[in-house]
Amino acid sequence: MNDTNAKAGLGPSGQSDAHRVLIVGGGVAGLDLAGTLAGHKELDVALIDLATAHVWKPMLHSIAAGTHDVARVGVPYLAQARQHGFLYHPGRATAVDLDARCVTVDAFDRDGLTLLPERHLPYDTLVLAVGSEANDFGVPGVADHARHIDTLHEAVAYRDATAPRLVQAAQAGRPHRVAIVGGGATGVQFAAELLQIADTVDDFGIDGARAAMQVTLLDKGDRLLVAFPPPVSAAARERLEQLGVTVRLNVDVARAEADALILKNGEEIAADFIVWAAGVRASPLAASLDALERGPASRIVIDAHCRTSRPEVFALGDCAALTPNGADTPLPPTAQVAFRQAVYLGRHLPAMIAGRSVPDFRYRDAGALVSLADYDAYGALGDFGFFKGGIKNGFFRGRLAQAGHALLYRRHQARLHGAPRAAGLWLSDVVTARTRPIEKLE
């Protein structure tokens, strides 16, 4: 593979004789790992991602609704590459040649100009952190008529498409109907964010937005938020219904049409916009790697060292399936699992590369948090000491849960930027929130 192609990236150049670690995917796990490993002088670390900026994935639903400013929450990969000392390759990774130890990256274009050609990037160690995508389960019409919020591009596209429609509906006195399929954390939080943006539009003098916003949340199960204790599910449903969300459980979608969802019982749910948040599957790149052992939803099977069936290839986050000893199913595809795996590899991958033994990855559930915009929040306690089993039937809510949810994002910022800079960003966000309208009102 020619050297010119291999170095067609952005950021500091590594040592020519260093061990080449190539990370595919700059999400919660990939970017954190790149920053950590870049501190090891014996490693030449590179990161591939199609986007030019990283966004904390749990924030995508608020960007789509318009309650967060994408310009303020995006973290440019080039800035991270310069700060930490790794190489950034913009573009989509389209293929992995496991025998040649090489990843193909598409040409990188902007505004019709090719900024970087197709590249073939060699590696000594490969880390796959390519995340997941929405799983439509083969339901007819979903690919054509439903929107997903899995990437920054999709979140911004939804915001830009719906903002004028909401204002138009408010002015005309007609409904703005949104149907969300999937009662997990994404669907529940997105429903609340839509109501908050409508409230804010009203507060800024465009009367009728809150009355126009009609949100229907559908799930085929018998409760929302199945990853949380049942009391959280019940409390979240009650609060959403108080806010005006129509919650439909035990319903199955037969097909999606341009302006409606058709249920298997024949019922029609009218909708101006359909958002599909009913589950995830591994990304197309992960699903294409037939030489690697794969599990449910095409996730790549990994061992207790986050290693795949190829010893020089590791995987973590949503695209990876690790089944702990004694468990029947893999760990869930959550940001918490991805972050813990990134921390583990950041600590132990250099030793594994050097041939030294390392401890197994062990996951302890730290609990989970879900926020209903500024209206409410809920937290489920994890498996930690005397907290195991939780308080008040296993959950807490209100200001404490909202603070915990906010602190997760601030911790992520501190990992990327360092504590002093993260504190400055927090202060800047506080000032900005008091001096500027939120994104959609722009």
**What is the arithmetic mean of pLDDT over 28-34?**
96
* Inter-residue contact 246 to 392 (CB < 8 Å): no
Alpha-carbon span 267 to 60, nearest angstrom: 30
Beta bridge partners of 183: none
pLDDT range class, residue 392, cuts 50, 70, 90: very low
Average pLDDT over residues 94-123: 94
Residue 428 has pLDDT above 80, yes or no: no
Of 410 and 309, the one with more pLDDT? 309
Phi, psi (deg, nearest 5) at residue 20: -90, 115
Q: Which of 243, 265, 227, 269 is nearest to 376 (CA)?
A: 243
Quick one: average pLDDT of 197-206?
87
Residue 110: both structure tokens together? 């902007």
Predicted confidence (pLDDT) at residue 299 exceeds the cutoff of 50: yes
The burial of 197, by beta-carbon neighbours within 10 Å (0-12 exposed, 13-18 middle, 19 or more buried), is given as buried
User: Minimal CA–CA distance to 306: which of 264, 285, 266, 337?
Assistant: 337
- On whether the 136-278+368-397 domain is CATH 1.10.3720.10, my answer is no
Question: Are 117 and 102 in contact, with CB atoms under 8 Å apart?
Answer: no
Q: Which of 5-19, 53-67, 121-135 has the lowest mean pLDDT?
A: 5-19
Q: Looking at residue 228, what DSSP letter applies?
A: S
CA distance 403 to 369: 10
For the segment 148-173, what is each residue's pLDDT rounded down to a tens digit?
Answer: 998 888 999 999 999 899 999 999 99
Q: Are 191 and 224 in contact (CB under 8 A)?
A: no
C-alpha distance across the termini of the chain, in Å: 48
Say if residue 92's pLDDT is above 70. yes
The answer regarding whether domain 3-133+281-353 maps to CATH 3.40.190.10 reads no
The pTM of this model reads 0.87
Q: What is the mean pLDDT of residues 32-55?
A: 95
- The C-alpha atoms of residue 182 and residue 159 are separated, in whole angstroms, by 19
CA 10 remoteness from chain centre:
24
Name the more confident of 141 and 378: 141
d(CA 260, CA 262): 6
Token couple for 166: 């909401």
Instruction: Considering only residues 206 and 354, tell me which one the structure prediction assigns the higher pLDDT.
Output: 354
- The strands making up 102-105's β-sheet, listed across from edge to edge, are 93-97, 102-105, 119-122
**DSSP structural state of residue 206:** -
**CA pair distance 347, 417, nearest whole angstrom:** 18
Structure token digits, residue 256: 């999606």
Q: How far is CA 164 from the centre of its chain?
A: 26
Domain boundaries, the chain: 3-133+281-353, 136-278+368-397
Give the helix/strand (H/E) hosting 250.
Answer: none
Residue type, 339: F
